[in-house]
Structure 1
């Protein structure tokens, strides 16, 4: 891979952080899968989240979006949200065991599945509107299990030492992966035009987006998924890997296709769908994001 072929100098701080992560992940791999995943969730919830200030960020976002929640529920979420994040990262670094479990369960379900199957059969381009919810990679693994060409756009981490193992871990779940940048975007568009299924995120604040609403609050939302669907006559629908109560298995829910209209209307429909999903599974969305950021 081009990201790993060029070994650029890495700052000492990044090397230390990367070394600490590899040491933790190495110890976690000594555990059987059924204990490794919850162990990493516990580590994120009880060690990383307090150190990184995640609990305060989660509280601040919940105060804006869900002021109706009780203090007991807020405390639960300040621990459950990082727990899900830790589990998801451990699953990414347990690719063979993780993907084997997803493949064996064939977890695809939901009202949009027939449309997705038809698009796969006819070679119609597909935009999979994905969010930082549950485990995004469960969706990629489930689609790849059906031999569907699913690609994804990603942003390389700032820590180059981390990228050298993180990007191969992502690729081990499904390919192709397209890095942000001119070359990656060009390859991504060729893939989409050729009838590929492309997963694109839409749930983070975007300075270049338009102001739409999420949980009734204004927030800038990227229009790219809808714009690409209109440009290439692609099916566009929301997809999410929903973690099940056992903490290890998933249902990959395929939402109903979003009708083509204008980008703002289409993306608001995706925001509304995600809000409903988050309300049903509050601990599975990454409440650490500054989704309702304000400039000036």
Structure 2
């Protein structure tokens, strides 16, 4: 019997085959068919198709109530009509992101019209590429976040990143292949969890670059304010930045149209240096949350409001206030 070998969080031998069920194979077959259809449509029509389907179906799903509650909590000035408009926009952006995913590798920079991408603040990328050494890129699930790794890599600043493996290993393999296809040189994808965190730490310690999306709730994180409310936030990026005293570069993706995107790269954050490590970690984590908030407030429909970002007790109170008394 062959031994099981694991590389980048994915089992590579016969053990994987034993774990793949008939249902998983059927699911993977459907995914491959959908992928083929999206490729055939081309980037613009695939984006339009994905956006239209999700905009129509998404608001009817129960998870949209989570988005509405989030908006009621942090943007109380919005009325019901405005909240519904944002939730529809969230679903449309998500659908477009899925539709564009198979075409990321084909998008070209600075096209005059139609599908493509542009980079604002590219000077910050070239400066870090020339400087060398460890760099941390920070962003969130904003616009088409899948464009960040390949877009940044074109300026010599490609970075490894974390990812959450799909439950179906066959589909997970497809997703990873698409991400590798979009970059000239495939870089590590660290599985979320303790082991992945250790591997990422070693990666940065060796002078490499790492990108992290830090906008989701982390139950064992630290309390940091987000949209004026306490939110459990991952402190790992801040801790690594302070440990290695390496640049933290914020950036995100704006959607300009179907399969037309703008990567916005900002100047590195100024690292706090109070002499108290815990205070500095908290300060830098708050700085990052503040950047995320500013981007989301500017275009609220571009962010994934669909997850429970704030504490359950706070959310329950908002939900209770919605019910008629």
Task: State whether residues 102 and 141 of structure 1, in contact with CA within 8 Å, keep that contact through their aligned partners in structure 2.
Answer: no
Task: State whether residues 15 and 161 of structure 1, in contact with CA within 8 Å, keep that contact through their aligned partners in structure 2.
Answer: yes
Partner Cα separation in structure 2 for residue 87 and residue 205 of structure 1: 24
Shift in Å at residue 101 of structure 1? 2.3
> Which moved further from structure 2: 180-189 or 123-132?
180-189
TM-score by length of 1: 0.88
| DSSP-derived class of the 1:234 partner | coil
Task: State whether residues 137 and 173 of structure 1, in contact with CA within 8 Å, keep that contact through their aligned partners in structure 2.
Answer: no
Task: State whether residues 154 and 179 of structure 1, in contact with CA within 8 Å, keep that contact through their aligned partners in structure 2.
Answer: yes
The residue correspondences of 1:101-250 to structure 2 (distance < 5 A) are 101-102=108-109, 107-110=118-121, 113-174=122-183, 175-180=186-191, 184-244=196-256, 246-250=257-261
Q: 1:210 to 1:183 in 2, by over 3 A?
A: closer
Please list every run of 5 or more consecutive structure 2 residues that lacks an aligned counterpart in the other structure: 1-5, 273-279, 317-325
> Which moved further from structure 2: 131-140 or 142-151?
142-151
For 1:168-218, what per-residue CA distance to the aligned partner results, in whole angstroms no more than 9, with x for missing partners? 112222331323256644543343234322101211110111111111111
2:35 maps to which of 25, 31, 34: 25
Does residue 289 (structure 1) correspond to residue 300 (structure 2)? The answer is no
Residue 52 of structure 2: aligned partner: 42
Shift in Å at residue 144 of structure 1? 1.3
> Which moved further from structure 2: 190-199 or 269-278?
190-199
Shift in Å at residue 253 of structure 1? 1.1
Does residue 86 (structure 1) correspond to residue 95 (structure 2)? The answer is yes
Partner Cα separation in structure 2 for residue 291 and residue 87 of structure 1: 23
Shift in Å at residue 25 of structure 1? 3.0
> Which moved further from structure 2: 220-229 or 254-263?
254-263
Task: State whether residues 59 and 88 of structure 2, in contact with CA within 8 Å, keep that contact through their aligned partners in structure 1.
Answer: no
How many residue pairs align between the two structures?
A: 290
TM-score by length of 2: 0.80
Q: 1:221 to 1:155 in 2, by over 3 A?
A: same
Task: State whether residues 42 and 103 of structure 2, in contact with CA within 8 Å, keep that contact through their aligned partners in structure 1.
Answer: no
Q: 1:138 to 1:95 in 2, by over 3 A?
A: closer
Shift in Å at residue 232 of structure 1? 1.4
Partner Cα separation in structure 2 for residue 286 and residue 22 of structure 1: 25
Q: 1:41 to 1:21 in 2, by over 3 A?
A: farther
Residue 296 of structure 2: aligned partner: 278
Task: State whether residues 50 and 96 of structure 2, in contact with CA within 8 Å, keep that contact through their aligned partners in structure 1.
Answer: yes
Q: 1:22 to 1:45 in 2, by over 3 A?
A: farther
Residue 12 of structure 2: aligned partner: 5
Does residue 269 (structure 1) correspond to residue 276 (structure 2)? The answer is no
Task: State whether residues 43 and 259 of structure 2, in contact with CA within 8 Å, keep that contact through their aligned partners in structure 1.
Answer: no
| DSSP-derived class of the 1:171 partner | helix
For 1:126-181, what per-residue CA distance to the aligned partner results, in whole angstroms no more than 9, with x for missing partners? 11011011111222121111232321111212232321211211222233132325
Q: 1:17 to 1:184 in 2, by over 3 A?
A: same
Partner Cα separation in structure 1 for residue 28 and residue 227 of structure 2: 36
Partner Cα separation in structure 2 for residue 63 and residue 88 of structure 1: 25
Please list every run of 5 or more consecutive structure 1 residues that lacks an aligned counterpart in the other structure: none
Which entry has the higher C-alpha Rg, 1 or 2?
2
